[in-house]
A and B are shown apart, each in its own frame.
Chain A
Amino acid sequence: EPEVTQTPSHQVTQMGQEVILRCVPISNHLYFYWYRQILGQKVEFLVSFYNNEISEKSEIFDDQFSVERPDGSNFTLKIRSTKLEDSAMYFCASSDPWGPSRTEAFFGQGTRLTVV
């Protein structure tokens, strides 16, 4: 069964460092997303990406965040200068807007980011 894959599963970084979280969405999906979940809190939307550009972003997705689709398969989230409060589980998701359940989003296993 196709799945969204994320690497690494766990990343520890020092405050102020840049991190790149990587995702391989399901191959025939066209919408890609990043969500995050701070421990004990709800899943929060960060950004959606369609047709090689940002479709929508939340107020959380400020200038320190960026997304990129560097090739035909990978989708990355970059955090330029990490802060302690960026510590969270980051989930990548993808969906097929033209499929029978076009809004159904499939989530990857997540990357746990710990900023120390």
Chain B
Amino acid sequence: QKEVEQNSGPLSVPEGAIASLNCTYSDRGSQSFFWYRQYSGKSPELIMFIYSNGDKEDGRFTAQLNKASQYVSLLIRDSQPSDSATYLCAVFNSNSGYALNFGKGTSLLVTP
């Protein structure tokens, strides 16, 4: 069973702080890694994806990937109350088809 693990949280950070969300995966053949945001009762919304080791920045978001450690993270700078949601890590391996394998998600609460 190929697992994607996330701490369920909740992770509570004050407004303006950096939120750090982590994800580990068991499938060494994984090629692409995605972070989705999901508000309660809504569908997953893609925030960003990363393929290569290192950092990838997009606005207030930075994804970090370390394939050797099978670890991917998402940093949210200047956190806002509107960032309060569940963040889903999803992993893709084309050798396993085009399906995404999701973690259970980390609940983030940004307090004013």
A residues apposed to B, CB below 8 Å: 31, 33, 35, 41-45, 48, 50, 55-56, 58, 89, 91, 95, 97, 101, 103-110
B residues apposed to A, CB below 8 Å: 31-32, 34, 36, 41-46, 49, 88, 90, 92, 94, 96-105
Do A44 and B102 touch (CB < 8 A)?
yes
Task: Specify which chain B residues have a CB less than 8 angstroms from the CB of A103 in the assembled complex.
Answer: 31-32, 34, 49, 92, 94, 98
Write the nearest CB–CB distance from A97 to chain B, whole angstroms. 7
Do A56 and B44 touch (CB < 8 A)?
no
Do A109 and B42 touch (CB < 8 A)?
yes
- The complex places the Cα of A56 from the Cα of B99 at a distance, in Å, of 8
Task: Determine which of B34, B41, B94, B105 lies in contact with A104 in the assembled complex, contact meaning CB atoms within 8 Å.
Answer: B34
Write the nearest CB–CB distance from B67 to chain A, whole angstroms. 16
- The complex places the Cα of A50 from the Cα of B90 at a distance, in Å, of 21
Task: Determine which of A42, A50, A107 lies in contact with B43 in the assembled complex, contact meaning CB atoms within 8 Å.
Answer: A107
Task: Specify which chain B residues have a CB less than 8 angstroms from the CB of A101 in the assembled complex.
Answer: 49
Do A31 and B98 touch (CB < 8 A)?
yes
Write the nearest CB–CB distance from A74 to chain B, whole angstroms. 18
Task: Determine which of A45, A55, A89, A108 lies in contact with B100 in the assembled complex, contact meaning CB atoms within 8 Å.
Answer: A45
Indicate whether A106 sits within 8 Å of B102 (C-beta atoms), given known contacts A43-B88, A48-B97, A55-B97. Answer: no
Indicate whether A104 sits within 8 Å of B98 (C-beta atoms), given known contacts A41-B104, A43-B88. Answer: no
Closest A residue to B100 using CB positions? A105
A and B contact pairs by CB, cutoff 8 A, 19 listed: A42-B103, A42-B104, A43-B88, A45-B101, A45-B102, A48-B99, A50-B98, A55-B97, A89-B41, A91-B43, A91-B44, A103-B94, A103-B98, A104-B34, A105-B34, A107-B43, A107-B46, A109-B42, A109-B43
Closest B residue to A6 using CB positions? B43
- The complex places the Cα of A35 from the Cα of B44 at a distance, in Å, of 11
